[in-house]
């Protein structure tokens, strides 16, 4: 998960948000269709406005009654049969919208957060935490069932205020009053937020202080539409163990009037701030941070302690947002690798070197590879900071780096990879296969792409053995996963004596036995098939089978026929074993 985080909170696939908008959208569509066909363009606009008003009222009045009265008044007693039928259809649509509105309004009133529906960051906020863990466990089991066994989900004791990195977007209302918050899901509309249940409380407090200081310092917030204004974002990073705090003021221009006085006034109110940075982002981009930075106070970075090691964190460094669960995550990944002290380890997508440095005490040598130059600089500094001498870091593409190692005849025993949510690439997985490490430990924040990549690894000779789900993101739909893969050794074989008559082996069938086909169908489709069904499908496909294999004992005997779903599964297995 080492990609730069974009503006706003990670929203993912916001199921609550989408369903919450259904009632307004559905009602609006029906109103536009009905009124547009009768009253022309102006009437269509009016109906859309009224339908929005109705949606805002929700259940304050009886919408069906009001809608019927307006419809009668508008069209009078000259309504045709067609119009009546259309009105009835509209009422049916309104009833459905009303039911949805009631359900969603009830959820909204019960929510712990006043902007739950608009923000979209905490999709599972109003679900009991135990249920959240059960849901994530079930989703992971469904995705990973074809590949490996999944251990029980590891949750948090206190699932609130766990984020050590907090980002706030700054905007202003029509009167010019500044406010801050997050982008509404799938948009660039800013939702005002004063405090958040998953963000660090001290960070929220500092953002509130900055918001209150803007008018006295005559600092205008940036307007994306006009391009005017100075302050775009504020980013807060806090070391949970060290207590160090970084404040990043993201401005649209390098010219920041009274910046030193502003920082001094801020520190007077929050002396716990250890460094302040001005980041300049003048581009029309969705990225939060720009390329240029100026240190306004302190050393320009903070430090935190993770798994007993001290790490230097800059404004752009990737550092897991939940340090409490990250310690569990890294310990589980190193445990899965089974390091004994003699291994050569590669930490791919290494970022600032956290996994590699923590693993260095259990390995003979660690090689970290990262494409982000700033992250590599931090990783080198972190190795020096912890007096770790058996780790080296390289700024390179991890896939190409391993491919070059393989071509040079070098080896690695274990590869750790922690890619972004989009997963790894075919090229990277090919390079792992060429290097032939005995084990691969995959740390993933995207279960869907993890399942996709495990299939690619399987085709290249790696089998997933076991997986662990670690909840790094309570209240959201996201989850972190660790999976250990082992390389299948083609030289490992067991010699046994089998009777060919018993197995009914033929030339076409020699690529897979009946038991192998049964095992494949059971593993991939969770269904059992009989030898009779397999022989029926093979005969149907023109494959050779024994002359008397599974034939009925008498001519008039009734023989069960293979169901269509099992026929498809068997055909897939035959194709898998290259028999068709």
Residues carrying an active site annotation: 445
Q: Does residue 490 sit in helix, strand or coil?
A: coil
DSSP-assigned beta bridge partners for residue 183: 190
Distances from the Cα of 253 to the Cαs of 7, 182, 227, 315, in angstroms? 18, 21, 11, 18
Q: How many angstroms separate the CA atoms of 98 and 123, rounded?
A: 23
On the 0-12 / 13-18 / 19+ scale of CB atoms within 10 A, 542 is exposed
Is 410 marked as a binding-site residue? no
Q: How many angstroms separate the CA atoms of 186 and 117, rounded?
A: 12
Distances from the Cα of 234 to the Cαs of 7, 170, 219, 296, 468, in angstroms? 11, 8, 13, 14, 35
- What tokens were used for 553? 């004992």
DSSP 31: H
End-to-end Cα spacing for the chain: 40
DSSP 188: -
Q: What are phi and psi of 466, to 5 degrees?
A: -155, 150
Nearest alpha-carbon partner for 326 in 364, 362, 352: 352
Q: In terms of DSSP H, where are the helices of 61-80?
A: 63-75
Count CB atoms within 10 A of the CB of residue 268: 8
Q: How many angstroms separate the CA atoms of 47 and 68, rounded?
A: 13
Is 370 marked as a binding-site residue? yes
Is 268 marked as a binding-site residue? no
- What tokens were used for 194? 């004063």
Is 61 marked as a binding-site residue? no
Binding residues for S-adenosyl-L-methionine: 320, 349, 370, 418
């Amino acid at each position: 998960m080492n990609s730069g985080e974009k503006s706003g909170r990670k929203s993912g696939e916001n199921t609550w948000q989408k369903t919450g908008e259904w009632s307004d959208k559905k009602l609006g569509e029906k109103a536009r269709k009905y009124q547009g066909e009768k009253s022309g363009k102006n009437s269509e606009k009016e109906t859309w406005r009224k339908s929005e008003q109705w949606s805002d009222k929700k259940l304050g009045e009886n919408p069906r009654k009001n809608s019927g009265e307006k419809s009668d008044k508008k069209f009078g007693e000259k309504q045709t049969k067609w119009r009546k039928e259309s009105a009835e259809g509209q009422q049916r649509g309104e009833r459905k919208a009303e039911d949805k509105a009631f359900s969603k309004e009830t959820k909204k009133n019960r929510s712990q957060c006043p902007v739950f529906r608009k923000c979209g960051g905490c999709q599972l906020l109003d679900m009991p935490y135990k249920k959240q863990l059960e849901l994530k466990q079930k989703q992971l089991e469904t995705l990973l069932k074809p590949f490996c066994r999944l251990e029980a989900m590891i949750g948090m004791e206190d699932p609130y205020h766990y984020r050590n990195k907090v980002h706030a977007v700054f905007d202003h209302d029509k009167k010019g009053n500044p406010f801050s918050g997050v982008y509404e899901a799938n948009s660039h509309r800013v939702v005002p937020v004063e405090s958040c249940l998953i963000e660090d409380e001290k960070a929220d407090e500092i953002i509130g202080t900055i918001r209150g200081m803007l008018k006295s310092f005559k600092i205008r917030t940036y307007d994306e539409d006009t391009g005017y204004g100075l302050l775009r974002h504020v980013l807060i990073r806090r070391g949970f163990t060290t207590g160090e705090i970084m404040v990043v003021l993201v401005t649209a221009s390098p010219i920041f009037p009274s910046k030193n006085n502003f920082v001094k006034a801020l520190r007077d109110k929050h002396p716990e701030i250890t460094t302040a940075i001005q980041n300049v982002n003048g581009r029309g981009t969705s990225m939060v941070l720009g390329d240029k930075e100026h240190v306004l106070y302190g050393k320009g970075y903070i430090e935190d302690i993770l798994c007993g090691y001290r790490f230097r964190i800059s404004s752009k460094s990737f550092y897991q947002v939940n340090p409490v669960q990250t310690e569990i995550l890294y310990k589980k990944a190193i445990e899965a690798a089974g390091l004994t002290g003699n291994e050569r380890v590669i930490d791919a997508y290494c970022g600032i070197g956290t996994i590699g440095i923590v693993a260095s005490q259990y390995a003979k040598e660690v090689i970290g590879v990262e494409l982000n130059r700033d992250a590599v600089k931090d990783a080198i500094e972190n190795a020096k900071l912890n007096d770790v001498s058996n780790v080296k870091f390289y700024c390179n593409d991890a896939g190409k780096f391993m491919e070059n190692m393989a071509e040079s005849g070098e080896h690695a025993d274990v590869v750790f990879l922690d890619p972004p949510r989009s997963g790894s690439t075919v090229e990277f997985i090919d390079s792992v296969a060429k290097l032939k490490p005995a084990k691969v430990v995959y740390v993933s924040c995207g279960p869907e792409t993890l399942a996709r990549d495990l299939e690619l690894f399987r085709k290249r000779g790696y089998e997933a053995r076991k997986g662990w789900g670690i909840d790094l993101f309570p209240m959201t739909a996201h989850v972190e996963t660790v999976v250990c893969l082992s390389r299948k050794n083609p030289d490992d074989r067991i010699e046994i004596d089998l009777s060919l008559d018993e197995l009914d082996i033929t030339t076409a069938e020699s690529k897979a036995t009946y038991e192998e086909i049964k095992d494949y169908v059971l593993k991939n489709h969770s269904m059992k098939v009989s030898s009779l069904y397999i022989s029926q499908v093979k005969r149907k496909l023109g494959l050779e089978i024994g002359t008397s294999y599974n034939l009925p004992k008498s001519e008039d005997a009734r023989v069960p026929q293979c169901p269509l779903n099992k026929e498809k599964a068997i055909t897939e297995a035959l194709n898998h074993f290259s028999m068709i």
